[in-house]
Chain A
């Protein structure tokens, strides 16, 4: 599903080079539930952005579903993001002037899905998130937990293969965080590949495969020292 071959990412700040990722090798199979933890600045977000095609490696190779990503055109890359990848952010990133339904509809609108199909799928997705009665509310009228659930509905509306979440509970209280975790894990049960970056040891610990990063390197990977690991889960 996801394969990184000695991927490095170096940021240029002034005339100084800041290494964010240092020769990362990683393979994630279809349907895996992976958490990435580690201190702040260890390169977790950078790794997730590269996996989500929002950023490109400075060196190394990245294969998504056996395609070499570095060879894609901008148009193909955008299409891959739209159809194969879902993103959930710490700060939700809902468009404030659009209703919940319109926000969820956005990827389908960009993909040119016919309006009738869109309406049905938006209604179903909001229903699955328990937000049917909030369809016409704007983000400003929703609680944090509700906003993140709208964002998850939007991230999954195109039925992507991979869901990437960067600190999805980082901006939520315990109760809403738990709700969001519950919603995400239900998606894993239905076969989505999930990579979640988190500071929260409780959330990180729930993942079947746990990765630890320090200074741009993977220092611990539960898959490599657990004999009972299987790509499709227990």
Chain B
């Protein structure tokens, strides 16, 4: 019986004897594996990215919006127009549930903001100080001294860093009075820039008390209500509590939509995972192509080495031995090609990280394992036919060809 180390030595020697052919096979395998690694990394990166975005929304978050989300009949995702407005009173009524920790009403509008002759259009958010805690927004400077009673207006405003820069320049902003629409507000704080999160760019936001915003835009209704559940476990209970409260307060109409962060997140997660699998699958096709190339190249190898195969038989190699030698050669080449592909793939990932530092690129372990597994099996499957052909060669005929 031939020794394992001798098998490897023989195969390495054979592969080294035909440089171009070997290099070609390694290249095909490496490209296949590298594309699987890079594409699944990008897909996985997108998933992690979205996950992070949602996490920045705040934890255990429920969002209440007016109108019922019709899921059956009528145009899909249509919000019915007959719903009642949500009021600050509705929002604050939610606080009496034990499943709810914090509630923040939200009114949104756009208005010109000016100071010292400079004016720009800004998104104005009206809410309570709890908004900062619910959405993980930090203040870089000052505070947000809105009244505890959400129905009382107060001329205080917290502004985003970009607005501060554009309106005040090098001038200090806190304590200054600016104009929003035709009303005057005193700047009491600056939002920290790192709290960039879904839906809002906090660098360009102006936050005022909710009653002040309602007065400014002349509306009693709310755009959204942000609800923070006590814990992850009571999110479903909180949702039921929210729905029942609104039903009670809106004469039995169930006319609000409650979105939980978990549900949205799960949907995105599913979509992006499917996307990753898809691009990974497409890349895996290139591994199949590499396999076919391996078959071609191995077939050429068998005919190039016909007389050598005849000789090996004359020297006492059985059919099984020849088969094993050629299969080992195909497997070894695809393994080495696969490892080269891994290196190439990780290098590619590093390049992406270098270009887009904010994008979280990581190769998922299952993709790496699958890529190597497919590479090895492609080598074996597509190496089998040439190896079998070699094993079956008639030694007399093989030796007759020089």
- Which residues of A come within 8 Å of B, CB atoms? 49, 52, 54-55, 74-75, 77-83, 87, 89, 91, 93, 95-98, 102, 106-107, 109-112, 154, 158
| Among B257-265, B314-322, B361-369, the stretch in contact with A | B314-322
Chain A residues whose C-beta falls within 8 Å of the C-beta of B310 in the assembled complex: 93
Contact with A along B1-42 (1 / 0, CB 8 A): 111001000100110110000000000000000000000000
Interface pair B307/A93, CB less than 8 Å apart: yes
The residues in B between 97 and 111 inclusive whose CB is less than 8 angstroms from any CB of A are none
Q: Let me know if B118 is at the binding interface, CB within 8 A.
A: no
Chain A: interface secondary structure? helix
Q: Name the contact of B399 in the complex, choosing from A54, A78, A98 (C-beta under 8 A).
A: A54
Residue from B311, B313, B319 having most chain A Cβ neighbours under 10 A: B311
Contacts of A87 in B (CB 8 A): 314-315
How far is it, in angstroms, between the C-alpha of A102 and the C-alpha of B2 when the chains are bound? 15
With contacts A109-B10, A112-B2 known, is A154 near B395, CB below 8 A?
no
Q: Is B308 an interface residue (CB 8 A)?
A: yes
- Whether A75 contacts B318 by the Cβ 8 Å rule is yes
Q: A52-B314, A74-B318, A91-B402 are in contact. List 13 more A-B contacts (CB 8 A).
A: A54-B314, A55-B396, A74-B319, A74-B320, A78-B313, A78-B318, A82-B317, A95-B308, A97-B13, A97-B17, A102-B13, A106-B315, A110-B312
Across-interface contacts of A95 in B (CB, < 8 A): 308, 311
Q: Which of A79, A89, A110 has the most CB of B within 10 A?
A: A110
Residue of A82, A91, A96 touching B316 (CB-CB under 8 A): A82
Kindly state the separation between the CA atoms of A117 and B246 in the bound complex, as whole angstroms.
Answer: 91
The closest CB in chain A to the CB of B400 belongs to A45
Per the bound structure, the CA–CA distance linking A98 and B13 in Å amounts to 8
- For B312, the chain A residues whose CB sits under 8 A away are 106, 110
**Complexed CA–CA distance, A83 and B315 (Å):** 9
Q: Which residue of B lies closest to A83 (CB)?
A: B316
A-B pairs under 8 A by CB, number: 72
26 CB-based A-B contacts, threshold 8 Å: A49-B396, A54-B314, A78-B319, A82-B317, A83-B316, A87-B314, A89-B399, A93-B307, A93-B314, A93-B399, A95-B311, A96-B17, A97-B16, A97-B17, A98-B13, A102-B13, A106-B315, A107-B316, A109-B2, A110-B2, A110-B315, A110-B321, A111-B2, A112-B1, A112-B2, A112-B6
Shortest Cβ-Cβ A-B pairs, 4 listed = A82-B316, A78-B318, A97-B17, A81-B316
B315 x A75 contact (CB < 8 A): no
Interface contact B13-A109, CB-CB below 8 Å? no
Label chain B's interface by main secondary structure.
Answer: helix
B residues in contact with A80, CB < 8 Å = 316
Docked Cα-Cα span, A119 to B384, in Å, equals 33
For residue B307, give the distance in angstroms from its CB to the closest CB of chain A: 6
> Chain A contacts of B319 at CB under 8 A?
74, 78
Residues of B within 8 A of A (CB): 1-3, 6, 10, 13-14, 16-17, 307-308, 310-321, 395-396, 399, 402
Cα of A52 to Cα of B395 in the assembled complex, Å? 11
Bound-complex Cα distance A110 to B9 (A): 12
CB-nearest residue of chain A to B308: A95
- B38 → chain A, closest Cβ, in Å? 36
CA distance A80 to B314 in the complex (A): 10
Whether A81 touches B314, Cβ cut-off 8 Å, given contacts A97-B13, A109-B6, is yes
B104 to chain A, nearest CB (A): 77
Complex CA–CA separation, A96 to B311 (angstroms) = 12
In the docked arrangement, what's the CA distance between A107 and B307, Å? Answer: 16
Residues of B contacting A77 with CB < 8 Å? Answer: 318
How far is the CB of B321 from the nearest CB of chain A, in Å? Answer: 7
Closest to A89 in B: B399
CA distance A55 to B399 in the complex (A): 12
Bound form: Cα–Cα A91–B315 in Å: 15
Write out the residue numbers on chain A whose beta carbons fall within 8 Å of the beta carbon of B314.
52, 54, 81, 87, 93
Q: Is the CB of B316 within 8 A of A75?
A: no
- Interface hub of A77, A95, A96, A154 (most chain B Cβ within 10 A): A95
Nearest A residue (CB) for B395: A54
Which of chain B's residues have a CB closer than 8 A to the CB of A54?
313-314, 395-396, 399
A154 to B314, CA, bound (A): 11
> What residues on A are CB-neighbors of B317 within 8 Å?
78, 82, 110
A184 to chain B, nearest CB (A): 17
Roughly how many angstroms separate A124 CA and B10 CA in the complex, as a whole number? Answer: 22
